[in-house]
Structure 1
Amino acid sequence: MLTLPAVLLLGTVLITLLLARQSWRLPPFPGRVNFLAMQLSASWWATAAAAETLALSPTTKLFWAKMAWTGIVGAPSFWFLFIWSYIHGEVSARWRQVPMVMGLVTWGMAMTNDWHRLLYASAQPIGGEPGAALSYVHGPWFLAVTIYLYTFMVLSFAVTASGIGRAAPAHRAHYVGFLLAVAVPWVANIGYVTSNVVLFDIDPTPFSFLITGIVFYWLIARRRLFELLPIARGALLDAVPDPVLVLDGDGTVVQANPAAESLVTSPGRLIGRRLDGVPEIGPVLVPQALAEPSDGPAPRLVQVGNGPQAREFEVTRVPLSYDGRSVGQLLLLRDVTLRRRIEARLHDTVRTLDTARQEAETLLAAEQEAKRALNSFLSMAAHEFKTPLAIIDGSAQMLLLDAEAKAPAMIPRLEKIRRAVRRQVGILETCLADDRLSDPSLTLRRDDIDLPALLRGAASAQADGATDRHLELELEDCPPRLSGDASLLELCVHNLLNNGLKYSRPGGRVALRVWSETGEPRPMVRLSVTDQGIGIPPEEVERVFDRFYRASNVRGAAGSGVGLNMVRRIAILHGGGVQVESRLGEGSRFTLSLPLGTEPRAAVMAVSHSG
C-alpha cells in the first residue's frame, strides 16, 4: 500500500514531468535538450526510489535500487551540461554521450553486482518487519561513481557562480535560483553519503527533487527564466563601447551595457523598463525598434538630447531568433556625433575652398589677360625699338668710315655705340623669341640651315662685344646642313656664346666645338661651348635652366635668367636637349644636342654635373 514516502516521491515525479512538459513547450533555449534529460533522469530516480519504498521483499528493494542508477548518474551530469549551455552557449551533442555511457555502465555494474560486489558489498534490512529499508555497504565502484558525480557538482557550482558575476542585476536572480536548485539535492546526498542521514529510512536525495522542481517552476512561471535567449550577454556586451539594448517581444529592456545606461539620467535602472517609458531615449528609439528592416539590418540616424550636449547615433536593429522563432531584438547605437561634426566642418571647408577656387580662377584669368596684354606690348615695343636701333647702328657705321680718315680718336667711341646697339638688339630678340615660345600654337619652321655659316656669324657678332676674351671655333667635324628653325637655333648659339664670354675672366678662352654622332636611336649633332669662367656651385647646377634663375655667384653680372631656359625650350622643341658640366672656379661646358633629321616636337632634357 501507499506510504507517505512513496506519495512524496511520486508527487516529485509528477511535478518534475509536468515541469519537463512545460519547458518543452517554451520557445527553444540553449541547453533545452540537456535540461529535459536532467528532468527525466531525476524523474526516473524518484520513480525507482518510490518503487523501492513500496517493495516488501529485500530482493525487490535491491532491484529497484539498482534500476535507479541511470537516473542517479544522469541527473547531475545533464544538469552541468545544461548550466554550461545556458551560460556559455550550446555544447556539442557528443558531450551527452558521457552521462549516457556512464549511466549504462553503472547500471550494468549494478545489475551484475552479485557476481563482483563492486557496487554493493552487502545490502541488509534494518528490521524484521515486511518492507523494512535496506542498509547498504558500498563497494569501490560506488566510490568511483561518487567522485564522478561530485566532480560535476563542483563544476556546476563554479559555472553558475561565474554567471552570477557576469550577469546584469535583473538576471542574477536566475543564477541564484540555479544555485539553490542544485544545492538542495546535493546537500541531501552529501549528508546521506558522509553521515548516513536518511529520510523515512532511505536516501533523502530523491525527496529533495521535489524542492528543486518547486524552485524551477517558480523561476519559469514567475521569473520568465527561459523566455529570452541569453544572447549578447556578460563580458562581450560590456566590452562594446557603443550602447547596446536587448529588448524582449514586449519592448522591455532585458539587457543593456554600461554605454546604454549612460544615456539615461538614472544609470542602473534601465533594465526591466519598457523602452517607450524611458523619456531620454524612448521617443527616438521606439520607431527604430518597430521598423521592419527590408534588406538586412540597416542603420538609421537618430539624435539623443538637445543643444550642445546632443549626440547622434546610427541605430541598427537586429532581430533575435532561435530555431527560426523570434524572441526579441537587439538595438546597436553607434555614436557618430564626432564624425557628423567633422563631416559638417569638412563640408564647410569644401565650400570655402570651392569659393576660393572660383576666386583664384577669376584672378588667374585676369592675370593671364594682363600677361597677354603685357606680352603684346613687349612684342610691339620690341618691333618699334628695332627700327631706331637699326638707324643708330647704320649711322655709327657711316661715321666709322669717316672717322678712319678724319678723326681716328672717335673710332673706339663709335664701336662702343655699335656694341651697345647690338646688346639692345639681342635683348629685344630674346623678348620676341620668349613671346613666341610661350605661344601654345607655336609651329617650328623647318629651314635648310647652312650650319657652319650660322655658327661663324654668331661667333663673329659675340666676339665683337668681348674683345678682351678669346673665342675659338672647332668646326672640322661640323655637318654642313641642319634642318630646323633658323632664327631660334641662331638665338640658342648666341645665348650659349654670350653666357660663356660673360662669365669668363679677361683674357680667358671660350671654345665652340661642333661634331656629329651617328649612334642609336638617331643621328645627332652636338654643339659644346666650353669656358674658363667662374663655374657653377654643384648644388645649383640642376637649376640653371629654370626660368629667371641665376646662380648665387653671378649677382654682380648683368642678366635676366631667361637665356639658358630659352636654350632648353628650343632644344626640346627640336627633339633634342641640353646638358651642363661645371666645376666651381674652373669653368663650365654646355652641350646642345639636336637631331640631324626631321624630328617630332618632343625630347627629354638631361642635366648632369661633375666635381
Structure 2
Amino acid sequence: MLSPPAILLLAAVLVTLWIAWRGGRLPPFPGRINFVAMQLSASWWTTAAALEIAAVAPDDKQFWAKMAWVGIVGAPSFWTLFIWSYIHGELAPRWRLLPIGMGLLTWAVAMTNDLHRLMYVSAVPINDQPGAALDYTHGFWFFATTVYLYVFMVMSVVVTASGIHRAAPAYRAHYLGFLLAMAVPWLANIGYVTNNVVLFDFDPTPFSFLLMGAVFYWLITRRRLFALLPVANHALLDAMPDPVLVLDADGTVVEANPAANALSRKPGGVIGGRLDALPALDALLTGPAPLSPDSAARLVELPRGSERRTFEVTVVTLSSGGRQSVGRMLLLRDVTQRRRIEARLAEMVDRLIAARAEAEDRLAAETAAKHALNSYLSMAAHEFKTPLAIIDSAAQLLSLEAERKAPSMLPRLDRIRQAVRRQVNLLETCLADDRLSHPTVTLRRDTIDLPDLLRDAADSAPNPDDGDQPIHLDLSGCPARMIGDSTLVALSVHNLLSNALKYSPPGSPVELHATTQTDPMGRASLAVTVIDQGIGVPPEALPHIFDRFYRANNASGAPGTGVGLNMVRRIAALHGGSVGVESRVGMGSRFTLLLPLAPCARLTDRTMGSMAAIAETAGWDPPPHR
C-alpha cells in the first residue's frame, strides 16, 4: 500500500535518477562514474526503503530492509571515491571493487540472516497497527558495516577540508557548501542509530543522501566546474609563468593563476569579478573589433608591479563536449623583452641602412677619385716619359762622346741611364698592375712562338747598377708554341727575371729553363723555371710572397713596389695556370710558372684596349705576334 511517505521517497528517487542521467551525459570529468554510482546506490536504497514503508506484512518489510543493503553500502562508499577523484584526480577503476564487493557481501549476509543472526537479532512491529514500522535489534555485522561506512564518510570530510585549504578564495565558499551538505547524512544516520531522529518512523539516512546528491549537483553545475577546470588543475595553472584567466559565459573571471592575479591591484585578485580591473584587456574583448578565437593574437600593455609590460593575448573557447560554449580562456604571453629586442634590432637595421648608404656614397666618391687618379697617373706617365726619354737620350749621346774623349765618365753615364730605366719601369709597372686589375680585362688569343718570346724577355731584362749578370737560357725542352696573351706572358717572364736579377749578388748567374709538363689528366703545360743564387725568401714570408704590395723583411734594401710577383700570379690565373716558389735564405730561390699550352676559356679573339695599354706602358718591348 503506497502511503504519502512512500510516494514522497519514490518521487525523490525519480529526481535522483534524473540527476544521475544528467551527470552521465556531461563531458568527462574526474569522478563522473563514482558520482553516478553514488546516485544509483542512493536511489536503490531509497526505493527499498519506500517499498518497506509500503509493505504491510512484517516479513515483507524485513525482506526490503535486507535488499536495501546494496545501496546502503554503495552510497557512502562511492561518494567518498567521487570526492577524492573530484579534488585530487581520477582514481584507478580497481578502487570501485571495494564498495561493490563490500555491498554484495553485506547483502548476502542480510539475505541469509535467518541462519546466523549477524545482521538482525530481532525485528518486531512498534505497535499493533497494520503496516507498522519494525523495531530492529542489530547484530555484529550491522555494527561492523556501520564502522566501515563511517570510515568512508570521515575520509570524504577530510578530503573536502583539504580541498578548502588548496582552493582559490572564490571556491572556498563552494567547498564549504560541500561540507554543510555532507553534514546532513551524518546527522540523519547518527539520529537514527541513537533512536533520536526518524522519518515516518523510518531511517532518514537514504533520503538525506538523495538530498545531499541534489545539493552537490546544484553546487557543481552552478559554477560549471564540470565543464571548466577542476580544482585538480590549480597546481598546473600556478606553475605557469604567464597569466591565464578563465571566464564563464557571462564574462566573470572564475579562475586565474598567480601571474594573472598580479596584474590587478585588488587585494583578492581578479577571480570572482569581471575584467573592469584591467581596462586595457576589457577593451580588447569588448571593443569595436573584439578579440575572438579566430583572430590573430593581439598586443596589450598592462601594469605588472612597478612597470608596464606588453602581452600577446590569445582567446580559446571552452566547449561542453564540443557542443556548447561554456566560457573562454585568455592566454597572455609576456613579450616585453621580445618587443624591446625588436625595437633595438629595427634601430640597428636603420643605422645599418644609413651606414650602407653613406658607404655607397663614399665608395662612389672613391671610385670617381680613383678614376680621376688613374687618368692623372696615365697622363703623368706620358708627361714623365718625355723628359726621362730626353735624359736617357742625352746620356746615350754623352756616352758615345765619352768613349772617345772621356772614358772615365762612362760608368757615371751608365748609372744615369739605369736610374732612368728604373724610374720608368717602376711607374709603368704600377700602371700596368692597375689596368690588369680592371674587371673588363680579357686575354687575347695569340699563337706565341715561345723560344723567341723567352729570348726577348731575357734580352730586355734590366741589370742592376752593380754590373752585368748573365742569364743562362735552357730551351732544349721548350715547346714550340702555345695559345695565350703574348703581352701578358712576356710580362710575367720579364717580372720573374727582374726579381731574380735584383736580389742576386753581382756577377752571379740567373738560370731560365723552359720545359713541357703533363698533369695526371693528360693536359700539357709550359713550365718556366727561374733560378737565382740571391738572398732567398724567409720561411714566414713564403705564404705571402705573391700578395699584392708585400715585401719580405730581408728585401727592404732593394728598390721595388711589391706588385711584380702578384702580377705574375694573376696572369697565370687568367691563363688557367699557377706559379710557385721554393727558397732558402742565403741560398737563392726557384720560381716555377705553369701555363696551359691549350686555349683557356678566358681567352678571346678580341684584342682589348687595356692589353694594348699594358704593352704600351711596359718598360721593355714585347715580342711580335708570330
Q: TM-score over 0.5 for the alignment?
A: yes
Alignment partner, residue 458 of structure 1: 457
Alignment partner, residue 414 of structure 1: 413
Measured in 1, the distance between the counterparts of 2:475 and 2:15 equals: 120
Alignment partner, residue 47 of structure 1: 47
Pairwise CA distance, 1:256: 1.5
Alignment partner, residue 242 of structure 1: 242
> Which AA in structure 2 matches 1:68?
A
Measured in 2, the distance between the counterparts of 1:549 and 1:413 equals: 32
Q: State the SS of the aligned residue for 1:580.
A: strand
Higher relative contact order (CA 8 A, sep 6+): 2
Deviations 1:538-561 (A, max 9, x none): 444322322222334433433222
> Which AA in structure 2 matches 1:132?
L
Alignment partner, residue 65 of structure 2: 65
Measured in 1, the distance between the counterparts of 2:367 and 2:597 equals: 37
Alignment partner, residue 608 of structure 1: none
Alignment partner, residue 297 of structure 2: 299
Pairwise CA distance, 1:596: 0.7
Q: State the SS of the aligned residue for 1:473.
A: strand
Q: State the SS of the aligned residue for 1:250.
A: coil
Q: State the SS of the aligned residue for 2:601.
A: coil
Alignment partner, residue 427 of structure 2: 428
Alignment of 1:518-597 (within 5 A): 518-519=518-519, 520-584=521-585, 586-597=587-598
> Which AA in structure 1 matches 2:440?
S
Deviations 1:491-517 (A, max 9, x none): 212222222333345565543322111
Alignment of 1:392-407 (within 5 A): 392-407=391-406
Task: Flag the 1:44–1:451 CA change in 2: closer, same or farther, 3 A.
Answer: same
Measured in 1, the distance between the counterparts of 2:17 and 2:298 equals: 43
Measured in 1, the distance between the counterparts of 2:33 and 2:463 equals: 113
Task: Flag the 1:317–1:225 CA change in 2: closer, same or farther, 3 A.
Answer: closer
Task: Flag the 1:250–1:596 CA change in 2: closer, same or farther, 3 A.
Answer: same
Alignment of 1:153-552 (within 5 A): 156=156, 160=160, 163-182=163-182, 185=185, 205-206=205-206, 208-209=208-209, 212-213=212-213, 215-216=215-216, 219=219, 224=223, 226=225, 229-230=228-229, 233-275=233-275, 277-278=276-277, 280-281=279-280, 283-287=282-286, 291=290, 293=292, 296=294, 298-304=296-302, 309-323=307-321, 324-462=323-461, 464-465=463-464, 467=467, 471-505=471-505, 510-519=510-519, 520-552=521-553
Alignment of 1:60-209 (within 5 A): 60-83=60-83, 86-87=86-87, 98=97, 102=101, 105-106=104-105, 109-110=108-109, 113=112, 121=118, 123-125=120-122, 131-138=133-140, 156=156, 160=160, 163-182=163-182, 185=185, 205-206=205-206, 208-209=208-209
> Which AA in structure 2 matches 1:528?
T
Alignment partner, residue 616 of structure 2: none
Task: Flag the 1:2–1:533 CA change in 2: closer, same or farther, 3 A.
Answer: same
Deviations 1:357-405 (A, max 9, x none): 1121111111101111111222222233334434433443343334333
Pairwise CA distance, 1:58: 5.6
Contact preservation (8 Å) 2:120, 2:137: yes
Q: Bigger CA drift: 569-578 or 579-588? A: 579-588
Measured in 2, the distance between the counterparts of 1:96 and 1:298 equals: 46
Task: Flag the 1:41–1:144 CA change in 2: closer, same or farther, 3 A.
Answer: closer
Task: Flag the 1:96–1:11 CA change in 2: closer, same or farther, 3 A.
Answer: farther
| TM norm structure 1 | 0.82
Measured in 2, the distance between the counterparts of 1:44 and 1:176 equals: 28
Q: State the SS of the aligned residue for 1:597.
A: coil
Q: State the SS of the aligned residue for 1:429.
A: helix
Contact preservation (8 Å) 1:10, 1:47: no
Contact preservation (8 Å) 1:403, 1:410: yes
Measured in 1, the distance between the counterparts of 2:8 and 2:224 equals: 23
> Which AA in structure 1 matches 2:26?
P
Contact preservation (8 Å) 2:13, 2:47: no
Pairwise CA distance, 1:565: 1.5
The CA RMSD measured in Å over matched residues stands at 4.1
Q: State the SS of the aligned residue for 1:74.
A: helix
Pairwise CA distance, 1:104: 7.5
Task: Flag the 1:328–1:498 CA change in 2: closer, same or farther, 3 A.
Answer: same
> Which AA in structure 1 matches 2:139?
V
Deviations 1:416-458 (A, max 9, x none): 1222222223223312321321222222222332323332333
Task: Flag the 1:199–1:566 CA change in 2: closer, same or farther, 3 A.
Answer: same
Q: State the SS of the aligned residue for 2:447.
A: strand
Contact preservation (8 Å) 2:87, 2:230: no
Pairwise CA distance, 1:407: 2.2
Q: State the SS of the aligned residue for 1:477.
A: coil
- Give the total of aligned pairs: 588
Task: Flag the 1:115–1:15 CA change in 2: closer, same or farther, 3 A.
Answer: closer
Task: Flag the 1:356–1:181 CA change in 2: closer, same or farther, 3 A.
Answer: same
Task: Flag the 1:234–1:197 CA change in 2: closer, same or farther, 3 A.
Answer: farther
Q: Bigger CA drift: 528-537 or 558-567? A: 528-537
Q: State the SS of the aligned residue for 2:542.
A: helix
Q: State the SS of the aligned residue for 2:439.
A: coil
Measured in 2, the distance between the counterparts of 1:163 and 1:586 equals: 95
Task: Flag the 1:423–1:224 CA change in 2: closer, same or farther, 3 A.
Answer: closer
Give ranges in structure 2 of 5+ residues lacking alignment: 128-132, 604-626
Contact preservation (8 Å) 2:37, 2:78: yes
Contact preservation (8 Å) 2:244, 2:256: yes
Task: Flag the 1:467–1:518 CA change in 2: closer, same or farther, 3 A.
Answer: same
Contact preservation (8 Å) 2:66, 2:111: no
Measured in 2, the distance between the counterparts of 1:478 and 1:159 equals: 105
Measured in 1, the distance between the counterparts of 2:497 and 2:189 equals: 116
> Which AA in structure 2 matches 1:542?
P
Q: State the SS of the aligned residue for 1:121.
A: coil
